[in-house]
Structures are given as structure tokens and as C-alpha cells.
Structure 1
Amino acid sequence: MKEQTIFEIIHNMDKVTNNLIIQWNKIFYENLGVSHILVLGHIMENGKSRPSDIARVLGLTPPTLTHLSEKLVQKELAIRLEDKSDRRIIYLGITDKGIEIVKRANIEGQILRKNLFEKLTDEERLQLLNIYKKLNDNRN
């Protein structure tokens, strides 16, 4: 594969991703980024979690997660919980307000994806899904 082609692929993938993020930010008026929603979504799916575990799973640095969690707690979308057996251990939990935000964000995301992917045929969507699965397969 020619080098130029690899850079064109990467550039176009980035453009699609950036365009989706820009569109989502325009319709989702909560002053939250995609990373905030990912953190809330992780807690919603997995229950209360240690920030270090959330950071590892989402591929974020611990300082980034600290910054994100501060805003989530400030906006009353998440809460800090102490471990009853070891007060040094802190968990992040999600509030009812946080659950509602995740649900709304998912609905908005579904609308954006529908608008984006309706340009593709069913066969093209399946091909794209298989390509992304293959690219995300950690077994080399």
C-alpha cells in the first residue's frame, strides 16, 4: 500500500470522527464532551467504579479522568463514594440525573449515526463494521 493512501485513510477517518463530534456538540446542549458521556456510560453499565479502572478501560490518563470526574460531580451527574472497608479507596457512581444525560446522549448519537450511515447500503455498512472490528482486534 502506498504511503499516501495510508495518510488519506487516516485523514478521512479523522474527518468523519471530527464531523460527528462537532454535530453532536451542536445538538447536545449540556456543556459536556464525548469523554464525559463515555465515563458516565461506563459507570452506568458497570456500576460504581474506581477512577483508575475507568481511565484504563477508556484509554484515558488518570489526570484526564480526574478533570472529567470533577465536572461530572460538580454538575451532579456523578458522585464520589468511599469504600466502607478502606476509606482511602474512592469510587465514582452515577446519579439519576447522570443516567438521564446518558440516555439523551445515546438518542442524539443514534440520530447522528442514522443520518451519517443512511448514505451507505446495507452491504457497505456491514463491510464498514467488519473493517472496524478487524482494525480494533488487538490480536496481531
Structure 2
Amino acid sequence: MEEQTLFELVHNMDNFTKQMIMQWNRTFSEDLGISHVLVLAHLKQNGKSRPSDLAKILGLTPPTLSYLSEKLVEKKLAVRMVNESDRRINYLGITDKGDEVLQRASLEGQKLRTNLFEKLTEEERVQLANLYKKLSIIQHNENSHLE
């Protein structure tokens, strides 16, 4: 692949992602960013987690995760918990309200993507689905080698 074409592909992909996030931020009226939702999604899927583990898994710095956690706790979307056997260990867990907000955020994201993908032809959607599937397999294989 020519270097210019690869640059354009990466540039267009970044622009697309940035535009989708900005559009989601405009339509989702919870005063939360996508990073807050990613934290909630991880807590929903994996249960309570130590903040240091969350930061590492989500690729965030500990101060960033601390900031995100503070807002989630303040809005009662997450709670801090202490390990009873070792009180030095803290966890973050999702609340029922956090679960509801996460569901609404997911629905809003689905609506945005559906609206966008409906503008493609059936053939373009099939091509895009196949490309994403292939990229997911490649990414999975590369991550498997890192473990």
C-alpha cells in the first residue's frame, strides 16, 4: 500500500471516529464523555474493579481514571467499595443508575450508527462488515501474540 494511501486511510478513520464521538456527545444529554461510558461498560461487564486495573485495561492514566471516577461517584453512577479483608484495597462498582445511563448511552450510539449505515448501499454494508470482521481477526491475532 502506498504511504500516501495509508496516511489517508488512517486520517479518514480518525476523522470519522472523532465526528461520531462529537455527534454522540451532542445527542447524549448526561454531561458525560465517552470515557465515562467506557468505565461504566467495563464495570457492567466485569463487575467491581480496582481503579489501577481499570486504568491499565482502558489505557488511561491513573489521574485520568481518578477524575472520571470522581464524576461517576458524584453522579451516583458508580460507588467506591473497600475490600473488607484488606481495607487498603478499594474498588469501583456500577450502580443501578449507572446501568440505566449505560443502557441509554448504548442505545444512542446504536441509533447514530444505524442512521449512518442506512445511508450506505447493501453492498457497501456487506463490504464494510467484512472489512471490520477481517480487521478484528487481525487485531485479535496480534493481541494474542502479546500475551
Q: What TM-score bracket applies, with the shorter chain setting the length? A: over 0.9
**Correspondence for 1:136 among 131, 134, 139:** 139
Deviating runs (4+, > 4 A) in structure 1?
none
Counting matched residue pairs gives 140
**Correspondence for 1:127 among 105, 119, 130:** 130
Q: Structure 1: state its 5+ residue gaps.
A: none
Displacement of 1:101: 0.3
For residues 15 and 89 of structure 1, what CA distance do their matches in structure 2 show? 40
Q: Structure 2: state its 5+ residue gaps.
A: none
User: Residue 24 of structure 2 corresponds to which residue in structure 1?
Assistant: 24
Displacement of 1:72: 0.6
Letter in 2 for 1:31: D
Alignment check: 8 A CA contact 1:117 1:125 kept: no
TM-score, L = length of structure 2: 0.88
Displacement of 1:53: 1.3
For residues 115 and 135 of structure 2, what CA distance do their matches in structure 1 show? 19
Alignment check: 8 A CA contact 1:24 1:109 kept: yes
- 2:31 is paired with a residue of what secondary structure? coil
Letter in 2 for 1:30: E
Name which of structure 1's ranges 103-112 and 119-128 shifts more when overlaid on structure 2: 119-128
Alignment check: 8 A CA contact 1:78 1:94 kept: yes
For residues 2 and 124 of structure 1, what CA distance do their matches in structure 2 show? 21
Displacement of 1:124: 1.5
User: Residue 34 of structure 1 corresponds to which residue in structure 2?
Assistant: 34
For residues 132 and 77 of structure 1, what CA distance do their matches in structure 2 show? 33
Name which of structure 1's ranges 128-137 and 89-98 shifts more when overlaid on structure 2: 128-137
User: Residue 5 of structure 2 corresponds to which residue in structure 1?
Assistant: 5
Letter in 2 for 1:83: N
- CA RMSD in angstroms comes to 1.5
For residues 27 and 18 of structure 1, what CA distance do their matches in structure 2 show? 14
Percent identity, aligned pairs only? 56
User: Residue 103 of structure 1 corresponds to which residue in structure 2?
Assistant: 103
For residues 138 and 111 of structure 2, what CA distance do their matches in structure 1 show? 25
For residues 135 and 59 of structure 1, what CA distance do their matches in structure 2 show? 20
TM-score, L = length of structure 1: 0.92
For residues 35 and 138 of structure 2, what CA distance do their matches in structure 1 show? 21
